[in-house]
Amino acid sequence: MKGTWLLQMAWRDSRRNPSRLLLFLASVILGIAALVSIYSVGENLNRQIEEQAATLLGADQEWITNRPFTPDEHQVADSLAEDISEEWSFASMVMFPKNEGTRLTQIRALAGQYPYYGQLETTPENAQAFLQSGKKALVDHNLLLQFDVQVGDSVRVGEVTFEIAGALQQAPGQTGIVATVAPIVYIPLQYLEETGLNQKGSRISYRYFLKLNKPEEADQLAEKLSDHWTHNEISIRTIKDQKESTGRMFKNLTNFLGLAGFVALLLGCIGVASSVHLYIREKFNAIAVLRCLGVTSWQAFLIFLIQIALMGLVGSMIGAALGTILQGLLPKLIADFVPFELKSTLSPFAILQGILLGVCVSVLFSLSSLLSIRKIAPLNVFRIQAEDKPGDNDPLRWWVYGGIVLFIVLFSYLQLGDWPTAFSFSIGVMVSFLLLAGVAALLVRLVKRYFPSNWGFVARQGLANLYRPNNQTLTMIVALGLGTMLISTLVNSRNVLMNEITASGGTDGNRPNMILFDIQDNQLEDLKKHISDAGLRTLQSVPIVNMRLEKVNGLTYTKAKEDSTESIRSGLFSREYRVTYRDSLLSSEKLAAGEWIGNYTPSTGLIPVSMEEEFARRNGLKLNDTLVFNVQGMPVTTQLRSLREVDWRGMQTNFILLFPKGILEKAPKFHVIATYLPTLEESARFQQYLVKNFPNISIVDLNLILSTLDKVTEKIGFVVRFMALFSLLSGLIVLLGAIISSKYQRVKESVLLRTIGASRSQILWINGLEYFYLGAMSSITGIGLSLIAGYLLAKFSFEAKMVVQFWPLAAVFLGITAITVIIGLINSREVVTKSPLEVLRQENG
Amino acid sequence: MAAILTLSEVSKTFQTGKEQLVILHDINLEIAQGSTVAIVGPSGSGKTTLLGLCAGLDRASSGSVTLDGHILNDKTEDQLAQIRNQSVGFIFQNFQLLPTLTALENVMIPLELAGITNPRKQATELLEKVGLGHRLQHYPSQLSGGEQQRVSLARAFGNNPRILFADEPTGNLDSETSEKVIRLLFDLNKEAGTTLVLVTHDMDLAARTGRIIRIKGGNIISDTE
């Protein structure tokens, strides 16, 4: 009976407090909605990755290498597969003859029926079939849009002009983001030779796509082949590998989004804690009466615990419902990052998680205030005991705080999957909240201490209102400040990154904004002449020789792979090195150790080479190691004589490995040239000339890179800002809650002022200023902390200079302040427009 | 007649900062079952504190309080709550109804706590007895002061308490309403045979009881039948 009675009392007491309930609910709803939508998207992603993994790869196995497959390897493939497709892919310029537009693209020269699972999505449909019938190409649809080119027009790839058979909407495993950076052009493999782009030094990836005779054995076969081909440098991927790597990528994304949603929920919890605290204070007398009538302290505690838990349940259910609807939006938000069309379906598990979480946080964050109920004495019906406020010295409170910290850590671990990161995130969150609270408290204290007594009455009264009894100034500043801080940090970080990219690119004539590569030996002089004739300068001209590493201190690849204790990494031997030779260091390089020798003579001893210091350290190499390189079939013995610190961010041709002059001049090589083009028109003309006359040369245009990076960071930034918005909305709900809960007090104050003669406009100004101060203090707190966060991120994470742009931050300040004032005034209009007596009657029921 | 309430050498002190405030000095008091007693005194005399100690709402700093055979000093808070539910009724100056409950629900609380089988029926009868049978579903904010105090009376008598404590029951009422409420209080009290302890500064009201205990400065200065 007692249990039923407690439930009855919880229900009875909650009926007459709709406004309190709404605010409590709203605090929970938003955070849970964010999390349920993210969990649902995560569930859908995992399920669809599972379902669509085959179409992501497009085959049972993908073999990748950086040199053509040998006949033996082809034979092995043939014996295992019922069908094989071959693809050669590389970066190259294309030109659209219609308007002579040029662009660096990813050329995929394909032969075979690939993809075996899924399809190349094209417009018109099945345009891929046209690749089998002549010189036809499929071009990324964004490229066609960009250059105003249609299906049926042509595209020039190297020396060959292809007819555009279709617009490529989606290739297996491709995301929108990647397509922005490297749009794809498919051509038939049989015409690649004719394009003239397959030259010595071209960086081509060679792929086999296998439809296996026994697809169920794909993974075991892959393992066997990898063991057998230890030195063949063939990487084999299966559908399982594709699933895992795609899953990992999205796990990171959903984890990040989940954490952002969690921050919004925590903010909502502040609202919950704050509103419950006030709620219980208002219930003080009623609880004392119940105690007089015979209710025990634990019964009283349970009545309100049940109330809070039920409200949390209702709020969570509404939040879960809203989240389920919202999850229809999130796929659109992350569409560019997903390699397939993400469909939204109901996720019961996500909904259940959200509801459980909502109830838990509602109870957990209310416990501290609820515990004080136990200390309310029946004698309080006569007076509040002055010497000891209930709950002040309750040791159970510390358990509650400990429980909250534990909850944050555990939840972070569930999101992030490892303890160190979970602890770091938890500490970061708690420190942020504490910092916010600390700075807010300091601001409030400073204003109080240096109260501007010489201001006019209205301005002073607005400021003094922030200190009224039971004020929630601190809570509101923290709530709004956190949302402000998140958004401002995003703005600052983006500025730092873009500035870093722009600054390293440079706009003056001494820093290159275009790099040409894959220049053959016999093209170099003609090209330099053209550059000169065009009134431009060759700022850098760098020869590049390809080579492979055969031995390190006598150690070969096989020995390095077998000996797990060996510090030299086996990966050193399987990559191709693009090396240059010169007699001096660039401005982007600094000698970190050893001796730089720019010119080789036989008396120097072994050929002295220089390596980038971080690369050497990572791969277990040190000074004076002996390195034997295979330079186009010829072994060349060298000694590591120096290590360099390289600044990779500049638009300069930096290298991991450097040879001195005097050795490689006669080796087969290609060249890279860096130049500067002052205007977009000159750049376009120059590129057109190059593509027509030197179609094998690829061009990296800084303007293009900057605009592409801008698009990419904007897309990423948009997703992040969207999640930060949840935090801001949570903060606004806390604000709304605080405003409504203090309404009666403000009514009384305003009524008193109006009774003694204050005009409506004065009351309006006082209220407006109160919210202005609140919004301003919140924004300043948030922006101030974001500048610190931005500085730390710039210094330690991006290793870049901190850049502060005034106007975006000013916009954030004005936006937050304006929203605070608007919300505050909307809720205060009754106080101003109605007569004092009417208002008092209404408030007293 | 047996004593329902005994105070023996009871003192009450409060610590306010560094100072110790003595509210009651060595109070000795016995109240017989079924009697009506008024405790009178000026504001700040300690009468409300004395009421709190008698009703088990507070603990004496020294001495002992025995209520209906229970020595209150030994009891835990929850045991005191149970004693209050079973043996004690309260009427307060400012009614102290729960604002979120209807009149009927307010009266039902002590009945439900006591585990009465049909609290609704009994509460309805009590409210009808005090003339509020037609206001069962109204909230306190919808009732006048006199009506609220009548609800409070119904609630106080709900569990047939052995002793009823009334703290300035007419303090917030006009004289006409006060008279009605007081008449109702005494009628109900007589009918129930409850011991009534009334704290008031109204001597006319005090005169209607069988015994007047005067208190001043924390001491009983007179005790007249």
Q: Could you tell me which residues are beta bridge partners of residue A286?
A: none
Distance (Å, whole) CA A783 – CA A160: 56
Average pLDDT of chain A is 83
Q: Between A799 and A281, where is the model more confident?
A: A281
Which residues make Cβ contacts (< 8 Å) with residue A66, sequence separation at least 6? A203, A204, A205, A206, A233, A576
Would you state the pLDDT for residue A386? Answer: 40
Contact between B155 and A286 using a beta-carbon 8 Å cutoff: no
Distance (Å, whole) CA B143 – CA B61: 39
Closest residue of chain B to A3, computed from CA coordinates: B113
Contact between A16 and B100 using a beta-carbon 8 Å cutoff: yes
Give the 3-state secondary structure of residue B45.
coil
**pLDDT value at A505 more than 60:** no
Contact between A294 and B113 using a beta-carbon 8 Å cutoff: yes
Q: What is the pLDDT of residues A536-550, one digit of tens each?
A: 888 889 999 988 888
* Average pLDDT of the segment spanning A290-295: 92
CA-based nearest residue to A189, from A106, A131, A119: A131
**pLDDT value at A232 more than 90:** no
Give yes or no for A297 touching B (CB within 8 A).
yes
Tokens of A286: 């009623």
Distance from CA of A289 to the nearest CA of B (A): 7
Query: DSSP letters of A112-180?
Result: SS--SSS--EEESTTGGGGGGSSSEEEEEHHHHHHTT--BTBEEEETTEEEEEEEEEEE-TT--HHHHH
Residues of A in contact with B142 (CB under 8 A): 845
Would you state the pLDDT for residue A580? Answer: 93
Query: DSSP letters of A190-256?
Result: GGHHHHT---TT---EEEEEEEESSGGGHHHHHHHHHHH-TTS--EEEEHHHHHHHHHHHHHHHHHH
Distance (Å, whole) CA B159 – CA B174: 28
* Average pLDDT of the segment spanning B116-144: 93
Residues 675-704 of A with CB under 8 A from B: none
Q: Could you tell me which residues are beta bridge partners of residue B40?
A: B200, B214
Distance (Å, whole) CA B167 – CA A632: 107
Distance (Å, whole) CA A30 – CA A752: 37
Give the 3-state secondary structure of residue A565.
coil
Residues written for chain A: 845
Q: How many CB atoms lie within 10 A of CB B19?
A: 7
Tokens of A105: 């693209």
Distances (CA, A) of A491 to A254, A497, A703, A719, A808: 22, 10, 22, 13, 7
Tokens of A488: 């401002």
CA-based nearest residue to A577, from A648, A652, A628, A512: A628
Which residues make Cβ contacts (< 8 Å) with residue A13, sequence separation at least 6? A283, A286, A303, A304, A307, B98, B100, B101
Tokens of A116: 């075996």
Tokens of A264: 């919004």
Q: How many CB atoms lie within 10 A of CB B174?
A: 10
| Separation of CA A413 from chain center | 19
**pLDDT value at A249 more than 90:** no
Q: Is the pTM higher than 0.80?
A: no
Contact between A296 and B100 using a beta-carbon 8 Å cutoff: no
Residues of B in contact with A15 (CB under 8 A): 100
CA-based nearest residue to A705, from A224, A259, A181, A214: A181
* Average pLDDT of the segment spanning A193-197: 88
Would you state the pLDDT for residue A653? Answer: 77
Distance (Å, whole) CA A306 – CA A296: 15
Would you state the pLDDT for residue A500? Answer: 67
Question: Which residue bears the tokens 């009774």?
Answer: A755
Average pLDDT of chain B is 90
* Average pLDDT of the segment spanning A352-357: 92
H or E segment to which residue B90 belongs? strand B88-91
Residue A628 DSSP one-character state: E
Interface size A-B, in CB pairs within 8 Å, comes to 82
Closest residue of chain A to B165, computed from CA coordinates: A292
When pLDDT is cut at 50, 70 and 90, the band that residue A384 belongs to is very low
Calculate Rg over the CA atoms of chain B. Answer: 17
Q: Return the amino acid letter for A177.
A: I
Residues of B in contact with A13 (CB under 8 A): 98, 100-101
Tokens of B209: 């009881």
CA angle A359, A363, A366 (to 5 degrees): 140
In terms of C-beta density within 10 A (0-12 exposed, 13-18 middle, 19 or more buried), how is residue B117 classed? Answer: exposed
Contact between B101 and A13 using a beta-carbon 8 Å cutoff: yes
Would you state the pLDDT for residue A573? Answer: 80
Distances (CA, A) of A468 to A23, A473, A839: 21, 9, 20
Tokens of A123: 């417009």
Best of B13, B47, B77, B104 to substitute, by most chain A Cβ atoms within 10 angstroms, is B77
* Average pLDDT of the segment spanning B96-109: 93
Q: Could you tell me which residues are beta bridge partners of residue B70?
A: B67
Residues of B in contact with A298 (CB under 8 A): 78
Give yes or no for A554 touching B (CB within 8 A).
no
Q: Could you tell me which residues are beta bridge partners of residue A62?
A: A209, A237
Give yes or no for B139 touching A (CB within 8 A).
yes
Would you state the pLDDT for residue A450? Answer: 87
